[in-house]
Amino acid sequence: MNEPFAYDQVEYPSLIHPQMHPSRLAAIARLHGIRAAAPGSCRLLEVGCGDGLQLITLAMAYPESRFVGVDLSAKAIARGERMRESLGLANLQLVAADLMEWQPGPHPFDYVVAHGFYSWVPEPVRQRLLRLCDMHLGPRGIAYVSYNALPGSHLRRMLWEILQFHAGTDRDPATSVPRARECLDLLLLGMPDNTRYRTTLAGEIADLKARLNPQVLFHDDLAPINDPCTLDQFMRAAGSHGLAFVAEASYHEMSLYNAHPDARAMLEEVAQDDLVTKEQYLDFFTGRRFRQTILCRSAANPCPRADPAAIPELDLVTELAPAAGQPGTDGGMHFTRRSSGGLDTNDTVVQAMLIECGSRHPQALPVASLLEAARDSVASERTVAEDTQRAATFLLRAFQAGLVELHVDAPRFARHASERPAASRLARHQVEAGETQVISLRPSIVQLEDPVTCGLLLALDGTRDRDAILSFLHGHLARTGTSAPTGDGASLAEALEAGIDDALERVCALALVCEAPGDTAGPAG
C-alpha cells in the first residue's frame, strides 16, 4: 500500500510570508527597471500554496486580480477551499494537483511564487517549477522562489543527516519527532567539551530545540528530501530556463554592510560586472542559509543597480520616528524605530516625510504625496526635481538598510474607526473558528491577547454603531463566560463603554479594520 503523502498525514502550519507579497515584489522589480504589474490588476500563481492562506489575503485585498494556488496536498487544499467558500472569494482558484501534471491554462501570469517548496521537492519538480515560470510568465512577469542556501546550510545539513540516521526509516510523526528531539539531547550528552565540533553543532542544536512546532520540525528538518544549493547553482538552473536574477526579496540582506568592512571594496568591484557573483561571495562571507530570490525573464534585462528614480511612484511604510530631543542644534535629526536601527538626516523635507509616514505606521503612503506635503510644510526653496532626487536617494538607502518598506499598490486598511466599522472578514472568520492568532490586512500575523479584542472583531461587521457594538460585546462576553478587567470597581458595561474608543483605535493600529468608502491614502492635509 502507498504511504500517505506527508503533507496529508501531518498538517503544515497555515502561514503567510509578507516578503513574497506582490506589492513588495513589484516595488523591487520597478527599482531594477522592470515594470511589474500592480497587484491590483494582476494574475498570480502560488505553487505549493498549502491551504492558500496567503492567496486568501491577496484575493480579499485585490478583488480585480486573479489568484491561483496549486498544491499536492488534497487535505490542505480542502481546508483552503472551505475558507475560500465561506469568504465568497470568486477571484481565487485552489487546485489539488501534482505540479508535474498540472496544466496552468493559456493565460500568462504576472507573478509565480513558491515559498518553502524548491528545496523540499525532487529535482524533476524543481525543473518543472522553473520551466513553468519560463512558459507561463508574461514579458514583465516576476517569479519568487525561496530555497535553503549553501554554504550556510551545510552546518544544518550535518544535523539533518544525523537526525535522519537516528530516526531510521520511521516516517511516523508520532515517533520520529520525539526521536529527533531525543537525538539532539543525545548529541549534547555525547559530544566532548571544548571541541570545535561541539562548538559548531551546539548552536545548530539550540536553534532546532527552539523550534517548538512539531509539524515544522517534521516537514522542514526530517524530510527525506531537503537539498540546499548555492545561489550560483540556483541561477544556473534558472538561467537554463531563460530566467534572470533581479534581487533578493529580503532586500537589506543584499547590502555590502553585511560583510566585514575590509571586504566591501572587493564586493563592490565584483558587483559592477555581476550581481549574482557578488551575492555569492556575500553568502560565503555571511554563511547565509536561506534565499528568497526574485527572478524575471532574461529578455526583460533587469538593471543590476537599483534606480532611485523609481521611488516617487512607490508607497512608503515606516515606523521610524524622531528620537527624543530632536532636532539637534545643527538641525539634524536622528530617527529610530522600536524594533532597532535608525538613521540621521538634516534634510528638512525628508524629516517631514518621515515624521508624517512614521506617525501613520503601518499605513502605506504614496511617496509623491508625502513629498509634496513635506515641501509645503517646510516651505522648501529647492526645485521639485532637487527635492525629489534627494528624498529618493535617501529612501533607497533606508530601504537597503531595511529601515523602510516600499510597495506598489499596498493593501489598504482603516486608520481610524468609522461610524460603523468593519473588521477584516478573514480575521473575523479566524476568531469565529476559535483562533487567537489572526491575519491582519497588511497582511501580518497578529496575536490577539484578550477576549475583549476577539469579541470586538466579531462585533465589527460594518452594520453596528458604537452602542450596538457595546451591546454585542456585553452579550458576547456573558455568553462565553469571559470576564474582562474593569478596574476601580466599575461595572463591566461601564468599563467597556469607557474603553471602546481606545479599543477601536487599537484594532485599527493592528490593521484589522477595513477602510471605509471615501478614506484616502494621502498624508493628512
Ligand X SMILES: C[S@@+](CC[C@H](N)C(=O)[O-])C[C@H]1O[C@@H](n2cnc3c(N)ncnc32)[C@H](O)[C@@H]1O
Q: How far is the CB of 81 from ligand X (least distance, A)?
A: 14
- What is the rounded distance in angstroms from the CA atom of residue 222 to the CA atom of residue 210? 15
Total residues at interface with ligand X (CB under 6 A): 21
Q: With H, G, I as helix, E, B as strand and everything else as coil, classify residue 86.
A: helix
CA angle 61–62–67, rounded 5-degree value: 110
Q: Could you say whether residue 119 binds ligand X (CB under 6 A)? A: no
In the bound state with ligand X, the residue whose beta carbon lies nearer, of 48 and 366, is 48
Burial class for 419, CB neighbours closer than 10 Å (0-12, 13-18, 19+)? exposed
C-beta separation of 77 from 46 below 8 A = no
Q: Could you say whether residue 79 binds ligand X (CB under 6 A)? A: no
By CB under 6 A, the residues from 9 to 28 that bind ligand X are: 12, 15
- What is the rounded distance in angstroms from the CA atom of residue 287 to the CA atom of residue 291? 11
Integer angstrom CA distances of residue 416 from 364, 437, 438, 464, 492: 14, 22, 20, 15, 24
Instruction: Pick the binder of ligand X from 70, 177, 417, 448 (CB under 6 A).
Output: 70
In the bound state with ligand X, the residue whose beta carbon lies nearer, of 98 and 170, is 98
In the bound state with ligand X, the residue whose beta carbon lies nearer, of 15 and 490, is 15
- What is the rounded distance in angstroms from the CA atom of residue 104 to the CA atom of residue 94? 12
Q: With H, G, I as helix, E, B as strand and everything else as coil, classify residue 68.
A: strand
Strand order in the sheet with 342-345: 321-322, 333-336, 342-345
Q: How far is the CB of 14 from ligand X (least distance, A)?
A: 8
Question: Which residue is listed with cell 491561483?
Answer: 68
Instruction: Pick the binder of ligand X from 33, 48, 52, 312 (CB under 6 A).
Output: 48
Q: Could you say whether residue 50 binds ligand X (CB under 6 A)? A: yes
CA angle 232–221–54, rounded 5-degree value: 75
Q: List phi, psi (to 5°) of 439.
A: -105, 130
Q: How far is the CB of 10 from ligand X (least distance, A)?
A: 11
Interaction pattern, residues 217-246, with ligand X; x per rule: CB under 6 A: --x---------------------------
Q: How far is the CB of 199 from ligand X (least distance, A)?
A: 30
C-beta separation of 322 from 335 below 8 A = yes
Instruction: Pick the binder of ligand X from 27, 61, 125, 167 (CB under 6 A).
Output: 125
Residue 98 in grid coordinates: 501534482
CA angle 500–504–508, rounded 5-degree value: 170
Q: How far is the CB of 60 from ligand X (least distance, A)?
A: 18
C-beta separation of 26 from 408 below 8 A = yes
In the bound state with ligand X, the residue whose beta carbon lies nearer, of 218 and 413, is 218
Q: Could you say whether residue 121 binds ligand X (CB under 6 A)? A: yes
In the bound state with ligand X, the residue whose beta carbon lies nearer, of 116 and 358, is 116
In the bound state with ligand X, the residue whose beta carbon lies nearer, of 142 and 271, is 142
Q: How far is the CB of 366 from ligand X (least distance, A)?
A: 31
Stretch that binds ligand X, among 82-90, 97-105, 156-164, 413-421 (CB under 6 A): 97-105
Interaction pattern, residues 180-219, with ligand X; x per rule: CB under 6 A: ---------------------------------------x
Q: Could you say whether residue 129 binds ligand X (CB under 6 A)? A: no
- What is the rounded distance in angstroms from the CA atom of residue 163 to the CA atom of residue 186? 11
Give residues with Cβ within 8 angstroms of 103, minimum separation 6: none
In the bound state with ligand X, the residue whose beta carbon lies nearer, of 100 and 445, is 100
- What is the rounded distance in angstroms from the CA atom of residue 457 to the CA atom of residue 271? 49
Q: How far is the CB of 523 from ligand X (least distance, A)?
A: 35
Q: Could you say whether residue 120 binds ligand X (CB under 6 A)? A: yes
Instruction: Pick the binder of ligand X from 76, 177, 229, 454 (CB under 6 A).
Output: 76
In the bound state with ligand X, the residue whose beta carbon lies nearer, of 147 and 399, is 147
Interface residues with ligand X (CB under 6 A)? 7, 12, 15, 48-50, 70-73, 76, 98-100, 115-117, 120-121, 125, 219
